[in-house]
A and B are shown apart, each in its own frame.
Chain A
Amino acid sequence: MSIETAQREIVEEFGLFDDWMDRYQYLIDLGRKLPELDAADMVEDHLLAGCQSQVWLITEGDADRMVFRANSDAAIVSGLIALLLKVYSGRSAQEILDSEPHFVVEIGLSDHLSPTRANGLNAMLAEIRRQAQLALQAA
Chain B
Amino acid sequence: MDIVESKVKDQLDVFALREQFPVLARRVHDEKPLVYFDNAATAQRPLKVIEAMDDFYRRYNANVHRGVHQLSVEASEQFELARDSVRRLLNADSVREVVFTRGTTEAVNLVAQAYLRPRLEEGDEILITHMEHHSNIVPWQMLCEQTGAVLKVAPINRQGELLVEELASMINERTKLIGMVHVSNALGTINPVEEVCRIAKKHDVPVLVDGAQATPHMAVDVQALGCDFYCISAHKMYGPTGIGALWARESILEDMPPWQGGGEMITRVSFEGTTYNDLPHKFEAGTPNISGAIGFGKAVEFLEETGYEGIVWQEERLLEYATERMQAIDGLEIIGTAKHKGPVVSFTLEGAHPNDIGTIVDHYGVAIRTGHHCAMPVMQFFDVPATARVSFAPYNIRNEIDIFLEALGKARDMLA
Contact = CB atoms under 8 A, between A and B. Distances in A.
Nearest to A20: B363
Nearest to B370: A52
Interface string A25-49: 1001000000000000000000000
A76 B363 contact: no
Interface string A42-82: 00000000001110000000000000000001111100000
Contacts of B263: none
A52 B355 contact: yes
Interface residues of B, number: 16
Nearest to B357: A74
Q: Is chain B's binding surface mostly helix, strand, loop or mixed? A: helix
Given A52-B370, A52-B386, A118-B371, A28 B363 contact: no
Of A53, A77, A119, most buried by chain B (CB within 10 Å of CB) is: A53
Contact of A24 (B354, B355, B360, B386): B360
Given A53-B386, A75-B353, A119 B371 contact: no
A76 B352 CA distance: 10
A139 interface: no
B359 interface: yes
Contacts of A77: 353, 355-356
Interface in B363-384: 363, 370-371
Nearest to B351: A75
A75 B386 contact: no
A36 B244 CA distance: 47
A73 B414 contact: no
B353 to A, nearest CB: 4
A127 to B, nearest CB: 18
Contact of B355 (A20, A21, A25, A74): A74
Contact of B356 (A20, A75, A118): A75
Interface of B: 29, 352-356, 359-360, 363, 370-371, 385-386, 410, 414-415
17 contacts: A21-B363, A21-B410, A24-B360, A24-B414, A25-B414, A28-B414, A52-B386, A53-B386, A54-B385, A73-B385, A74-B353, A74-B355, A74-B356, A75-B352, A76-B355, A77-B356, A119-B355
Given A28-B415, A73-B353, 20 more contacts: A20-B363, A21-B410, A25-B414, A28-B414, A52-B355, A52-B370, A52-B386, A53-B353, A53-B385, A53-B386, A74-B353, A74-B354, A74-B355, A74-B356, A75-B353, A75-B356, A76-B355, A76-B356, A77-B353, A77-B356
